[in-house]
Amino acid sequence: MAKIGIDLGTTNSLAVVYKDGTAVKVINSLDSYITPSAVSIDDDGKVLVGEAAKDRLISHPEVSASEFKRNMGQRYEVELKGVKYTPEELSSLILKKLKADSETFLGEPVEEAIISVPAYFDDNSRRATRIAADLSGLKVDRLINEPSAAALAYLEKNGYEDGTYMVIDFGGGTLDVSVVDVFDNIIEILSVAGNNGLGGKDFNEAIAKDFCGKNGLDYDALSLAERAVVYRASERAKIALSDMPMVMMEVPFESGKLMLTLTNQELISMSKTIFEGIREPVRKAIHDSRKKLENIDRIILVGGSCKMPTVREFIRQITGIVPDTSIDPDIAIAEGAAIFAAMKNKDLKDVVLTDICPFTLGIAVNNDILNDGSSMMSSIIPRNSTLPSSITRPYSASCNNQQKITLRVYQGENIHPEKNLFLGELNLTCPPTRFGAKICDVKMTYDINGILIVDVYTADGLAKTKAFRSNSSVLTEEEVEAMREKIEAAMLVSHEDERYRALIARAERVYEESFEDQRLALQRLLMVFRGSLDRRDPIKVQQSYKALSDLLDSLEY
């Protein structure tokens, strides 16, 4: 039974399997290894995932969703065709599709996976990812940080050469930076930093808003369909600037054709805050690794946004190092996840990957400095501690004759605990203790599977233990069970039917983006194709499929 590696991305997702000493990309039902991270509900209530759903963001925006990864672990819902979906549920549909495609591709059941997550995902976001996997029918015993996976993919291709590397993973919705030491086939993650709210999506929006501003439009006031058309055109312009010095955006509106000429220099000018958002995680990762820039042997770039020449040049400017782009930025993370799965299966015995705790773990204590009843964060396991980690700290009574202890456990870097992520609390009694005297020892143990165990030992030898497991959630068991029933009832379109629905979705999207003189022929061929499907005439279906495909190709390229 195969175990796959999955890159569950903001913009695109893919699966890779490690077979016969190499990482093999899983080809989906549309003969591509890339599956857009988009979900749409078709007219008959069936669920479209991937390319068809991405196209329907333009033609049917009210029943389509994408870029929901940024909201993983948050109380957030999207309503599609009268049904509300959480990011966990939408992500589970992506995973369900990847699982089905992998089983078809491999010809065997797939029940286990290693899934990559942004290194800077907090505990709630990681728990949400595990819930999404569980809902999809995949067992996930480990998550792997995306830059760690990218480092594995790079090193596997380059012979695990000793050195110190910086990995910058800049994808559609998140930015991660890691510093990695490699010695004698041991890959040690020294530090991570990042921004879960920064990615290629922000460049798309910057271009879209600039386009609207220069054409006298208010981007936020556009209809869902109009905004989707402008956004898609902006994304295409951004991608085109990776190969051309200048591009022309042309977008159809009722008022006529609207245009914008765009260069990389103009993109830099409108995206200053985005580029400055890259600088801080790079600085922080270097600082936390206790290395200097001159100690970095190589900077490895992965993630779709790293294809942009402006991004590569900015990283060169702030580091003085020409980045290495020798691995495919689109597939490196999934390849690394698959390699890690092989390591877990003992198929790769000579490589060891260590990982670290991305956020500080600690408890709230009384603020003795201000003595105003407020709390402050007391760190027990500092960020970037190598996992597994176990640290014990003593604590004193906060008042005379104290007989109760309440430990509120947090994750984060803010000195004010309430601004960090609350993980839970422990309550226990203790012998009466005078103010300032030692009242207990608190031991925190955090393992590689994301399980935090807190032990409290009082002066009279009493102890209390609580485990904060990553498969728990801010969601209740009833909510998770309701999610499971909803996802099990969701019917993905069949493999053979998906090809036809994807062509229809593409045609409807191109129709929205086309000018009036192009629409008549497209409308006619689309109607012919729909009619051949209704009549179930296989010869007519294939003929009309080719005719419509050829026309779409001519209109798009």
Instruction: For residue range 381-406, list pLDDT tens digits in order.
Output: 999 899 899 999 999 998 899 999 99
CATH (domain of 380): 2.60.34.10
Query: Both 125 and 177 in a single domain?
Result: no
Position 32 pLDDT exceeds 50: yes
Does residue 458 sit within a domain? no
Name, in order, each residue with C-beta under 8 angstroms of 349's C-beta and a sequence gap of 6 or more. Answer: none
Q: How many domains does the chain have?
A: 4
Query: Both 439 and 376 in a single domain?
Result: yes
Query: Both 385 and 340 in a single domain?
Result: no
Query: Both 189 and 268 in a single domain?
Result: yes
What confidence category does residue 464 fall into, taking pLDDT thresholds of 50, 70 and 90? confident
Q: Name residue, tokens 């790293």.
A: 306
Where is 113: in which H helix or E strand?
Answer: strand 110-117
Q: Tell me the two tokens of residue 64.
A: 């389509």
Query: Both 33 and 117 in a single domain?
Result: yes
Does residue 465 sit within a domain? no
Query: Both 137 and 173 in a single domain?
Result: no
Query: Both 412 and 381 in a single domain?
Result: yes
Where is 403: in which H helix or E strand?
Answer: strand 402-411
Query: Both 154 and 184 in a single domain?
Result: no
Tens-place pLDDT, residues 532-542:
998 888 899 99
Span 439-451, mean pLDDT? 88
- Do 279 and 318 contact (CB within 8 A), yes or no? yes
Position 1 pLDDT exceeds 80: no
The mean-pLDDT minimum among 64-73, 339-348, 394-403 falls in 339-348
pTM for the complete prediction?
Answer: 0.87
3-class secondary structure, 473: coil
Query: Both 321 and 332 in a single domain?
Result: no
Does residue 461 sit within a domain? no
Does residue 475 sit within a domain? yes
Q: How many CA atoms lie within 13 A of 498 on its CB side?
A: 22
Mean pLDDT computed over every residue of the chain: 90
Nearest-CA neighbor of 358 among 508, 146, 201? 146
pLDDT of residue 485: 86
Query: Both 98 and 221 in a single domain?
Result: no
Query: Both 231 and 147 in a single domain?
Result: no
Does residue 84 sit within a domain? yes
CATH (domain of 229): 3.30.420.40
Rounded Cα distance between 264 and 243, Å, is 10
Rounded Cα distance between 366 and 372, Å, is 9
pLDDT of residue 472: 45
Does residue 466 sit within a domain? no
Task: Look up the domain containing 144 and give its range.
Answer: 1-158+327-353+471-493
Does residue 304 sit within a domain? yes
pLDDT of residue 96: 96
Does residue 454 sit within a domain? no
Query: Both 420 and 432 in a single domain?
Result: yes
